[in-house]
Amino acid sequence: MQTSELIEKLSSELRPVDRRIVPHVMLAALGIGTLLAVATVCLAYGVSLDLDHSDDLGLLVLKLVFTGSIVLITFSALLKLARPGQANRMGVALVFVPFVVIALLAAPNLMSVPDAWRNGATIGRAWPECLLLIPAIATVPFALMIWALRKAAPTHLKRAGAVAGFLAGGVSASAYALSCRDASLAFVACWYTSAIAICAVLGALLGPRLLRW
Amino acid sequence: MIAAQEGDGGAFKRLLQSLRRPLWGYVAGQLTCLGHNGSEAEDILQEVLIAIHKHRHTYDPAQRFTPWAYGIARYKLLDHLRRSRAAMAALPLETAGEMATEDYLGALESRVDAERLLAILPVHSRRAMKEVKLDGLSIAESAQGHGISEAAMKVRIHRGLKAMAAALKLES
């Protein structure tokens, strides 16, 4: 077909479009994904909130601030990646800030523990569970987010996939934090970070396949 | 673009028409930079225009328009290159070089066209044309095969070409 014919065809019967649809669909995906992740954790593992222990509560709040900030930063980066011409590296680099902060917070905590206990504090009891459950719970928010991104037009597929993985990992880690019985900052710094990194790597691998348009 | 998002077909048409040349320039420029020939540029340009239409809801009026349009063009260009590389990888290595250098489809098409035109020629003329122009014999070789002089052969070919040109003119 000639290009001028094509232009003629494309511009005839042009229907109006909703330009707010991209953020709306992505917000809906994030909301539903979070609800489903929290529901899965609550139903399957129960919420282990021991509210009498103020230490535990403090740590839970800290965990949620950590995972919540990951969710917020990755979501805003993903909103940009969803549209052509807006992908910038700065937004993606911001994603790493919470990990650096938690590592810095955990470092003195880890140093103050006697040598003999240090391994116990990092490794905790539940690390295999943490490494498996966070990516497993992340699949549903990840699938929802990919569905939402397919309504948009990401142009850097690997990057968009990785950030979607980060986001899903953050959502899943927030939900998992509600039932996680390991109460140490070092544990969070080490294993939550690893679990979320796994999600991001899987996302980067899947992105180019799932997001093509 | 904002008017186009609201459903103004006329504005969208003007937009696409004004984008056509710069986008073509961008695509063709990038293709030559990467060592491809520019023949695919028009196809890619059409894909870009279709994508601009299909994804017009993803343009955010708070942002600049040019990076959005070129973001789509860049994506479609890379997508095209990825696909053609995948197609290339599926061929055995020895033929890959040939495929890349010769315009295979173009050659095939002109061969088909030539055979069709030859069919309308008188039989002597047709054989002469086929041997010399398609199969690559020299005029002397062909003349010998037919048992005529070189000069007569040249006349036959000349008449054949004239007849074919006339037929082409009639068609168009």
**Residues of chain B neighbouring A87 (CB-CB closer than 8 A):** 71
In terms of pLDDT, which residue wins out, A9 or A52? A9
pLDDT of B62 reads 86
pLDDT of A37 reads 93
Among the partner-chain residues A1, A17, A87, the one whose CB lies closest to the CB of B56 is A17
Burial class (CB in 10 A: 0-12, 13-18, 19+), A7: buried
Residues of chain B falling short of pLDDT 50: 96-97, 99-102, 104
Q: Where are the domains of chain A?
A: 19-210
Residue of A nearest to B55 (CA): A153
**Residues of chain B neighbouring A22 (CB-CB closer than 8 A):** 57-58, 60
Please report, for residues A78, A138, B99, the alpha-carbon distance to residue B114 in angstroms, rounded to integers and kept in the order given: 55, 61, 22
In sequence order, what are the residues at sequence separation of 6 or more whose Cβ sits closer than 8 angstroms to the Cβ of residue A14? B4, B7, B8, B9, B12
Do B72 and A84 make contact, defined as CB atoms within 8 angstroms? yes
- Residue ranges of domains in chain B, CATH in brackets: 1-92 (1.10.1740.10)
Per DSSP, B138 falls in state: -
Lowest mean pLDDT among A54-63, A95-104, A185-194, B154-163: A54-63
Min Cα separation B25/chain A (Å): 14
pLDDT of A30 reads 95
Min Cα separation B80/chain A (Å): 11
Min Cα separation B37/chain A (Å): 19
pLDDT of A166 reads 93
Do A21 and B57 make contact, defined as CB atoms within 8 angstroms? yes
pLDDT of B140 reads 81
Residue A170 banded pLDDT, cuts 50, 70, 90: very high
Residue A162 banded pLDDT, cuts 50, 70, 90: very high
Residue of A2, A10, A211 best to disrupt the B interface, most CBs of B under 10 A: A10
User: What ipTM was estimated for this complex?
Assistant: 0.79
Round to whole Å and give the CA distance between B36 and B100.
Answer: 9
Mean pLDDT of A157-164: 93
pLDDT of B85 reads 75
pLDDT of A146 reads 95
Element of type H or E holding B101 = helix B93-101
- Indicate whether A115 pLDDT > 60: no
pLDDT of A4 reads 84
Do A153 and B9 make contact, defined as CB atoms within 8 angstroms? no
pLDDT of A90 reads 73
Range ranked top by mean pLDDT from A7-11, A37-41, A126-130, A185-189? A37-41
The number of C-beta contacts closer than 8 angstroms across A and B is: 97
Percentage of residues of chain A with pLDDT beyond 90: 42
Q: Which of A63, A158, A82 is nearest to B78 (CA)?
A: A158
pLDDT digits (tens, 9 = 90+) for B11-29: 888 888 888 888 888 888 8
Please report, for residues A30, A132, A136, A146, A167, the alpha-carbon distance to residue A139 in angstroms, rounded to integers and kept in the order given: 12, 11, 6, 10, 11
In terms of pLDDT, which residue wins out, A155 or B91? A155
**Residues of chain A neighbouring B5 (CB-CB closer than 8 A):** 16-17, 19
